[in-house]
Amino acid sequence: MMCDAPTRRSGYSWQDGPRTASIMPFQISLTTTPFDAGYAPAPHSRLTTNFANLAKHPDGRAQRIAATLARIERRFHGLLREPGDSARYRIGLEILTISIRFPDGPDAWFPMTETLRCRVFDRHEGRELAGLTGGNYSSFVRDYDFNILRPRIAAGEATKEEAETFGQLHGLLFRLQFRHHHPAGVLDEPLVIAISVASGRDYHRQHGEHRILGHEYVPNGVESATTRYFAAMGLGVSYFMPPGCRAPLAFYHEPGDLLTRPDEALAALVAIMDTFESIYRPEIYLTRKPAGAVFRADLGNRDHDPPPAIYDRVERDTKLGRAQAERARDEFLEPNAAAIRRLMAEHASLGPQPAGGAGRE
């Protein structure tokens, strides 16, 4: 089901009203939805995204969300090392939905991206602190690339052009969301995206420790497919194991943009992602053997604490992902094929660029 044109809907909050940027030959819109105990996934939501999957089933939905938000706040205050003052900060989360439409294509908006934006409120000083956008970043086009296109490439069934341009459309669509890349963009601040580390490779702990992000880790071997895919979005990767985490997280960010962020913003992102990864990757993030000098993630690990919430992994990993990929193909890629080809040709300058590291303080 495609998105309707962006109009006010029950359960939606609009930050400064609905924001739509129009410049031929496409339009981009931004809507926001509070992620709180009253949240339910919209019909257009990507149901493998952590926050949507957590709220997928109505039975116990409000309790699961409330418990998750409470865990995030506890984790946040622990990272800031403020015991006894756990009421100082409040974390507010909202879901950003960014949609695209081609005026000369089907008259419908397609959800390009959903991601979390975090707001940190300081009750003592009565002000809002800088937060981060990028938690639980999701994309239907990425589902198509990894569930349909990549298997076709591996089987030798894709065209030469499809194989050589893998990930480039997704990277272009990602960049077009930002005003500093294109006037049609609706986002001002670069995203910082944190996800699970890849399994099957070794990560080596480095010397030194960041006050919030903890020890940096460096992988050996060739870049992962995920890292190459994010590079097409203009994002580099850094790996850190924050205090209290049992395994490193992978942070994808624009070059030099990670370590310049305020402590509160980094602590909020870590708290969010460590909490969600504890639910969806307990084999890694609730392991009873925390990462040491060398770490290798193992999704077959059974020596871990029970996750704070239970989900249907088979459905999420094998059924929903494929269905989402088919939806991207049927509702967006094929109906807009001619417009997408023009878009790629006209905005080649926004194509893949070398991605750098975290930068040092």
Q: What pLDDT, in 10s, does the model give residues 59-100?
A: 999 999 999 999 999 999 999 986 556 678 899 999 999 999
SS3 40: coil
List, as own/partner pairs, every contact residues 284-290 make where C-beta atoms lie below 8 angstroms and the sequence separation is at least 24, other chains included: 284/196, 284/197, 284/199, 284/246, 284/247, 285/196, 285/245, 285/246, 285/247, 286/246, 287/246, 287/247, 290/245, 290/246, 290/247
CA distance 330 to 188: 31
Segments of the chain with pLDDT less than 50: 1-18, 20-23, 353-361
Positive or negative, the CA dihedral 197, 294, 231, 212 is positive
pLDDT for the residue numbered 82? 65
pLDDT for the residue numbered 22? 45
pLDDT for the residue numbered 310? 82
pLDDT for the residue numbered 88? 84
What's the start-to-end Cα distance of the chain, in Å?
A: 46
Q: What pLDDT, in 10s, does the model give residues 49-63?
A: 999 999 999 999 999
pLDDT for the residue numbered 224? 84
CA distance 171 to 45: 20
pLDDT for the residue numbered 2? 44
pTM: 0.88
